[in-house]
Structure 1
Amino acid sequence: MIDARRMNRRGVLAAGSGLALAAAAGPVWAGAKDGDAQLDALLDAQLQAWLDRAPELVTGLGLDVGARATQRFKLADRSQAAAVEGRDKAAADLAAVRAVDPASLSPEARLSRDIALFQLECTAAYRAFPFHKSEGWRESPYIVSQIGGVYSMTPDFLDAQHPVKTAQDVDAALSRMAAFAKALDQDTERAEANAAVGIVPPDFLLDGALAQLKALRDGQAKDKAMIRSLTRRAREQGLANPEAAAVALFEGPIRQALTRQIAALERHRARAVHDAGIGTRLPDPEAYYALNLKTYTTTAYSADEIHRIGRDQVAELTGRLDGLLKAQGYTKGTVGERVAALNREPRFLFANTDAGRAELLAYLETEMARVRARMPEVFATVPRGGFEIRRIPVEIEGGAPGGYASAGSLDGTRPGIYYINLKDTADWPRWSLRTLTYHEAAPGHLFQGALAREAGDLPLYRRLTGFSAYSEGWGLYAERLADEMGFYDDDPFGRIGYLQSFLFRAARLVVDTGLHAKGWSREEAIRYMTATAAEPENRAAREIERYCAAPGQACAYKLGEIEIARLRAEAERRRGFSLKTFHDRVVMSGPMPMTVLASHLNAST
């Protein structure tokens, strides 16, 4: 799971260099009732069992100390047996939560129950689809793709999240490198099992995955990011040089496991077809896509409804952009053609060189600091932890999203990280970068995530839960909020970038449902995205391929934003509306499904 208003006695206590969970007597909610302690103990036990299975997350949270110290040496079990066990556990957990009488609970405890029920219902429902893989934000029928698989996650995790402060931390990193080889083989075994029943990714997804796997496997081991990072940080701490041991692991078991995975995917590539959507390759694709849409959007919208909403939003946003472009003298061609022309104007571009990338990152740092300084104007609470901006690792940038956020540790000692894909700086004209920063950093993902994680009043199971429509909807809402605060008042092209961002997310509703419910091809979807949302073709191609690998995920953004905006409009009509209070109610209660958020906000008034 990846946020109750009154103090929760569990809390998170400092313990050595990390955090440990304190013993709990249950939360103390306003108007607490007899069932609250029972539900709290149940949800906490479920959380602890889930953390037992997630050593990378435990490290990311800073909880790999004390009783959990051995998890710093491990990676998660990625076998098919573990996946089945996890979904069976979710079904049992679901039954246990359902058995708690909501009449015995306070309003806050009922909120916790509703959040848990939705999440467990979705997880348990995937038992009907044994080929399915849940991996962070990726709900996918494909075990290995250009965006998914342990090969794309562990090197960056070892670089950015695994701590290196002591000799034991070095040993733990080497242990995880050894476990990386096993995890690769587990992914390969599951991919082979899926292929045996005809579930093979499209040819272009396999091409992307193979290119990245070969880039990771080939070349000098000592030059790999995870090894460079380990040796550099060990040197900075005055520890013995681990390079020889790390290189031996890479040259031996890791490279061998990568070679086995490459060979398997090359066999799959020989039989792969070009069909982009899931309709021709999965059993009961309509039911699978409907479940993915429910999981991602946390709504009951059908694929047809989402497609219609997307087209309506595209039409409305295109009209708004038309007026802004004409005001700047851009009058010829469609809106898509005019915005595309802006993409190519040299005055907006950073050089596609290391120096240009450094200049771009410095620009983002300045903008992030500026917007964070103004957040107290619209938020009663601001995060304590810091934020960083980093380039997405070169080894995986070919298939990675344009940008994404990685949350910091619970105690704030490891900052949240805003990643940007700098494979080609032409993907990021200057007029688009402010909006990306507001979405990924502040007041978007890193800001919201940090507030949830630092909310000591909340039980940990509320702080660590996650729903794409909530988080991505908030990220898009954050872009709108920045506009309301005047961040584009002196930057008309920045406002064009903001509306183009909204148009891009609306177009996602059309192309995702087009691919998976209406039989669109990859090329048809790319053409629509470039013509309608003015995305550069190479970036549009990466985006469309991402939607092919994670069906439904692209629909979370705009549907989440639409719902948050609707709920705010409702709240504004009530007497005594306060924007800070509204934000507090949305963010400080933690992530939740859109349906639950609506009932929570209505109950709060």
Structure 2
Amino acid sequence: MTQTSFDITRRQALAGLGATTALTLSGCASLPRDEMVGKAAQIGADRLLEVVAYNLLEHEPGRATSLGVDTGRYAYLRGKLEDQTQAGQQAFAATLRQDLARVAAYPRDGLDSDTVTNLDVVQSAYEVALDGFALPYGDTPVGNWRTAPYVVIQNVGEYLAMPRFMQSDQKVENGDDADAYIQRVEAFPATLDGELERIKAARAMGVVPPAFLIDKTIRQMEQTIESASKGELFADDLRAKLKSTGMPESHANRALTLETGPIADALLRQLAELKAERAVATDAPGISVRPHGEEFYAWALRSSTTTTMSADEIHRQGLDELEALHGRMDPILREIGYTTGSVGERMQALGQDARYKFSPGDAGREEIMAFIWERVNWVKSQMPRAFNTLVNPNMEVKRIPPAEEVGAPGAYGGAGSKDGTIPGRFWINLRSTDLHRKYDLADLAFHESIPGHIWEGEFSNRLSLIRSILAFNPFSEGWALYAEQLADELGAYDDFAVGRLGYLQSLAFRACRMVVDTGLHSKGWSREQAVRFFVERNGSKREEVESEVDRYCSWPGQATGYKLGHSRIVDQRKRAQAELGGAYDLKAFNDAVILGGNVPMDVLEKNVGRYIARVKG
């Protein structure tokens, strides 16, 4: 198969978003009737999907900015924020309900397979989201991965998200941009109070986060309030952006007034509520012990896996996969001289080996950044061996803001904007260099950047707008784990066996997540029991997994999608190999998966089936 690259630019793809509104059937007059009807159906479906996409962005305007589509007739979205009140969330659900009905009713006859997939993806995402909105509390993801019962907690809430978003994604290149920046800052107190309304309502029905999460959140909230008192959330950022373009700094002065006044006051109101919650909180970590908790967790598992697997089934699969992966790790450990104890105990010992640690402090942080870029550049050069269709991501590696590091994972990453002006970002937690080892950092880089999240996002950004918006946890995270596997298959660890241990431990870590998440939320595990499972069974670093476990407590179900998604992709590869025999081609398979876009697991199976059928002819 000939190697290709995309022959349309992102801006051309964006221009096409509105093209369907200008199409008429006059150009189809010379076509046979059946073909003309099919053309009309295709145009209608494309237009419907465009309308559905912008209806969604009306409720989540920040995503329009992150995608780079808050332009032209939609430029007004650049100054809006999501309505976080309960009424606002109900209005969001009403829009989803209306658009789901339109998508479900649209005839599929005469449509090409890609458009059928687009409609099926929207229908699946909206059905699951609406079931989440029907729950009496929580933050429901729509084409997103975060299943959050607590609207404000250590890793959820606009007190964290809004400053990061404004600093990273809100461009200021002219006076209109500066006005939009201020409009969002002006709207921020109402956003915070909308969240406050919802967490007070949750407390009234007995839904209070675990005490250990509230303690973290209070510390972070206090740090955010201190930053606001100095103008560090918005005013400093806006001032720097204005200065870089040579514009007057009067808007920054306005931002400072808002930040030190209404915004700080709204943050203090949230802090007071957190302290009221802390007074009645317990350390019970699982959602199932809270009102409607079993119902919430069942939905969270469905949202996070795009399957109907039960907690017991996921728990058993995690244990089975962990045992199989440790079976692969054992001989490597023996080969490098670690022969005594369980795999977990030997991995703990390996973690203390000074040869694989980074220097402490800023010197180590620089070592980590250099290490990441060396591995990223290496794997980028290998991509022609794994794909026929190539992209060249615009990307950055950035430190997670110190104010967020305590509640954040070791790293995370994602694609840039649809128009390419905002780069994909690999965020690395550097609160301590001891979070990372030289044998596991390469694997982390492949997962978050290339050929993982940033690489995959580049392909999704070239699909229709609604497909760029909607993402599914098991595909996003399953693909990133599959990316780790590809890096190994391309030779990343051929001369560094300890690095392969890091890769296998990463997969085992995700198998542990299936066990631990279900343990916490379905089997009555304590936080300490969950931490010990990681440390003792997998040799994970306690400092790392304490934050991990806390994340599972605030995002029930989300952690189960990683290894489950990876296993489904690998199963589909085995299926293609078995059915195609000598006609199977790794690059063609990888293209079929990634060009099909981010999809639920049942749609992934259909996409691979179409690839197999094409090859068979």
Structures share fold, TM-score greater than 0.5: yes
Name the amino acid aligned to 2:59: R
Name the structure 2 match of 1:115: 121
Residue 93 of structure 1: aligned partner = 99
Q: Which has the higher helix share?
A: 2
Cα contact 1:507–1:529 (8 A) shared by 2 = yes
Q: 1:216 to 1:171 in 2, by over 3 A?
A: same
Instruction: State the partner residue of 1:581.
Output: 588
Change (3 A) 1:385 1:532: same
* Backbone CA RMSD of aligned residues: 2.3
1:392 is the counterpart of 2:397: no
The SS at the match of 2:470 is: coil
Rounded to whole Å, the distance in 2 between the matches of 1:226 and 1:579 is: 47
CA 1:594/1:502 → structure 2, altered by over 3 Å: closer, same or farther? same
2-structure distance, mates of 1:124, 1:190: 18
Specify the alignment match of 2:564 in structure 1: 559
Distance 2:490 2:192 in 1: 47
- The alpha carbon displacement at 1:89 in A equals 2.4
Change in Cα spacing, 1:148 to 1:26, as seen in structure 2 (3 Å) is farther
Deviation, 1:222, is: 4.0
**Structural mapping, 1:455-494, within 5 Å:** 455=462, 458-494=463-499
User: Tell me, what secondary structure is at the counterpart of 2:412?
Assistant: strand
Distance 2:241 2:49 in 1: 38
Q: Could you report, residue by residue, the CA deviation over 1:86-117 in whole angstroms, capped at 9, with x for unpaired residues? A: 22322232222222233454333322222122
* Deviation (angstroms), 1:318: 1.3
The answer to whether residue 207 in structure 2 is matched with residue 211 in structure 1 is: no
The farther-off stretch of 465-474 and 109-118 is 109-118
Deviation at 1:58, TM superposition (A): 0.9
Post-superposition Cα deviations, 1:291-344, rounded to whole Å, max 9, x if no partner, equal 111111111211110000000011111121111111110112221122112222
Quick one: which of 400, 404, 409 aligns to 1:401? 409
Residue 446 of structure 2 contacts residue 487 of structure 2 at CA under 8 Å; is this kept in 1? Answer: yes
- Counting only pairs closer than 5 Å after superposition, residues 8-19 of structure 1 correspond to structure 2 as 13=11
Which residue of the partner structure matches residue 460 of structure 2? 452
Does the 8 Å CA contact 2:234/2:255 hold for their aligned counterparts? no
Cα-to-partner distance string for 1:545-566 (whole Å, 9 max, x where unaligned): 1011111100110000000000
CA distance 1:266–1:118, change in 2 (3 Å): same
Q: Which residue of 1 aligns with 2:177?
A: 169
How far apart in 2 are the matches of 1:319 and 1:446?
31
Q: Is the 8 A contact 2:173 2:245 kept in 1?
A: yes
Query: C-alpha distance in 2, partners of 1:224/1:55?
Result: 23
Q: What is the identity, as a one-letter code, of the residue corresponding to 2:318?
A: G
Aligned amino acid, residue 523 of structure 1: E
- 1:369 counterpart = 2:377: yes
User: Which deviates further from its counterpart, 362-371 or 194-203?
Assistant: 362-371
Structure 2 counterparts to residues 168-207 of structure 1, below 5 A: 168-207=176-215
Q: CA deviation at 1:257?
A: 0.8
2:615 matched residue in structure 1: none
1:126 paired residue number: 132
* Structure 2 Cα separation of the partners of residues 313 and 163 of structure 1: 45
Query: Take 2:172 and 2:363, find their aligned partners in 1: how far apart are those partners?
Result: 29
Deviations 1:472-505 (A, max 9, x none): 0000000001000011111111111000100100
Q: Does 1:434 align with 2:474?
A: no
Aligned residue for 2:439, secondary structure, equals helix
Counterpart for residue 349 of structure 2: 341
1:410-432 per-residue CA deviation (whole Å, 9 max, x = no partner) reads 12122100001111110101111
1:363-409 superposed Cα distances (whole Å, 9 cap, x missing partner): 11221122112211111122233111000011111111211113211
Q: Does structure 1 conserve the Cα–Cα contact (< 8 Å) formed by 2:414 and 2:448?
A: no
Residue 234 (structure 1) aligns with = 242
Contact 2:414 2:449 in 1 (8 A): no
**Deviation of 1:156 (Å):** 0.6
Contact 1:503-1:533 within 8 A present in 2 as well: yes
Amino acid in structure 2 at the alignment position of 1:238: G
What does residue 536 of structure 1 align with? 541
Residue among 589, 595, 599 paired with 2:602: 595
In the alignment, structure 1 residue 504 sits paired with structure 2 residue 500:
no
Instruction: Kindly provide the amino acid, as one letter, of the partner of residue 594 in structure 1.
Output: M
Map of 1:4 onto structure 2: none
Which residue, out of 405, 414, 420, partners 1:412?
Answer: 420
Query: How far did 1:20 drift?
Result: 8.5
Tell me what 1:517 maps to: 522
Match of 2:53 among 47, 56, 60: 47
CA contact (8 A) 1:20 1:65 kept: no
Q: Offset at 1:245? A: 2.9
For 2:78, the equivalent position in structure 1 comes to 72
Q: TM-score, normalised by structure 1?
A: 0.93
**Matches of 1:601 and 1:561, distance apart in 2:** 15
Residue 12 of structure 1, CA deviation: 6.4
Rate the CA distance shift 1:478–1:517 in 2: closer, same or farther, 3 A. Answer: same
| Structure 1 segments unaligned to the other structure (5+ residues) | 1-6
Quote how far apart the aligned CAs of 1:181 are.
Answer: 1.9
Q: Find the aligned partners of 1:250 and 1:338 in 2 and give their Cα distance.
A: 50
Which region of structure 1 is more displaced relative to structure 2, 162-171 or 292-301? 162-171
Shift of 1:219: 4.8
Would the alpha carbon gap of residues 37 and 21 (structure 1) be closer, same or farther in structure 2, given more than 3 Å must change?
Answer: closer
**The one of 19, 23, 27 aligned to 2:19:** 23
Distance 1:535 1:84 in 2: 42
Moved more, 460-469 or 38-47: 38-47
Number of residues of Structure 1 aligned to a counterpart in Structure 2? 590
